[in-house]
Amino acid sequence: MTETTTPVTRFAVPGRIAVSGPAASRWQTATLTEIRRETPRASTFRLAVPAWAGHLPGQHLMLRLTAADGYAAQRHYSIASAPDASGHIELTLDRVPDGEVSGWFHTVARPGDTVEVRGPLSGFFAWPGDRPALLLGAGSGVVPLMSMVRHHRARGLTVPLRMLVSARGPEDLIYAPELGAETTPVFTRSAPPGVPVGRMTAAHVAPLLAEQPAGGWEAYVCGSNAFAEHVSRLLVAAGQPVDRIRIERFG
């Protein structure tokens, strides 16, 4: 035998949760049951998916819309709801200008409509609730993180959980009424009186990394690529090991 260097995945603990092959490859019909406005630009869509295989907080799915002529558009969406036995899941969609799929959801969709989904997908960004979690999101990047927060609450977990979310202003902060003491919002354009305006900085991250829980934080970063690049650099600079940072980029 020749000498080989066996690579190990060292940038992050490999996905400790396997994705179910059958669930990932089977399209299911989902029925829209409720639409809730979150912010002027984001709404939550509740879907009945009777044969949903269950998911872990942080996972996403693939969604497909089909036109009468057979044309289909598919996009990924994070699951906003915590795992539960309701037979329903929730997605929260930002309204993208001219967006083909988000545009349909925001202007046409009404309860009773059906779409297709498959998943859940990717065990890599999932958090089963077993380790202290530091969540950092921007815009709709808060969606998979909120599933984690909701899971933490629903199960009454005691493992430490903290969240930093960036929004343009208070009116753009998705899930604002639901956010609690675990969350620190960061406002980039407008803020309530007395609250500073600006991007997430080392000063936001440092206190959280200074109060390391036993075993250290597992960091989950979600948002646009620009946000993910910026925040993952802040984390590394503040001493968070690269192999304890998981990133979900929305594109």
Partner 1 sequence: MNVTRGFTGRPRVENPGLPPGQYDAREDWPVLSAEVTPDLSPADWSFRVDGLVERPHTWDWDAAHALPASAYEGDIHCVTGWSKFGVRFGGVSLDAFFGVVRPQGSATHALAYSHTGYTANLPLADLTGGRAWIVREYDGAPLPPEHGGPARLVVPHLYFWKSVKWIAGITLLDHDEPGFWERNGYHARGNPWEEQRYSGD
Binding site for partner 1 (CB under 8 A): 2-12, 14-15, 18-22, 24-27, 29, 65-68, 70-76, 98, 100, 104, 108-109, 113-116, 118, 121-125, 225, 228-229, 232-233, 235-236, 242, 245-249, 251
8 Å CB contact between 234 and 210: no
Phi-psi map region of 172: left, alpha, beta (phi>0 left; psi -120 to 50 alpha): alpha
Helix (H/G/I), strand (E/B), else coil: 129: coil
Nearer to partner 1, 2 or 158 (CB): 2
Stretch that binds ligand FAD, among 99-107, 126-134, 149-157, 168-176 (CB under 6 A): 99-107
Report whether 220 contacts 145 (CB < 8 A).
yes
Should residue 34 be labelled a site residue for ligand FAD when binding is judged by CB under 6 A? no
Nearer to partner 1, 92 or 122 (CB): 122
Nearest residue to ligand FAD on Cβ basis: 99
Question: Which residue, 11 or 211, has its beta carbon nearer to partner 1?
Answer: 11
Q: Which two tokens stand for residue 117?
A: 């989904």
H/E stretch holding 235: helix 225-237
62 interacts with ligand FAD by CB under 6 A: no
Kindly list the distances between the CA atom of residue 242 and the CA atoms of 26, 27, 40, 138, 239, in Å, as whole numbers in the listed order. Answer: 34, 35, 36, 20, 9
Binding pattern to ligand FAD, positions 100-129, x when CB under 6 A? Answer: xxxx--------------------------
Q: Tokens 């406002």 appear where?
A: 187
Residue 125, Ramachandran bin (φ over 0: left; ψ between -120 and 50: alpha; else beta)? alpha
Taking the complex as a whole, how short is the minimal distance between the CB of residue 224 and partner 1, in angstroms?
9
Q: How far is the CB of 67 from partner 1 (least distance, A)?
A: 5
Q: Is 248 in the site for ligand FAD (CB under 6 A)?
A: yes
Binding segment for ligand FAD (CB under 6 A), chosen from 98-106, 109-117, 154-162, 235-243, is 98-106
E strand segments, 5-110: 28-39, 42-48, 60-66, 72-78, 88-94
Footprint of ligand FAD on this chain (CB under 6 A)?
A: 60, 75-78, 92-94, 96-103, 140, 143, 248, 250-251
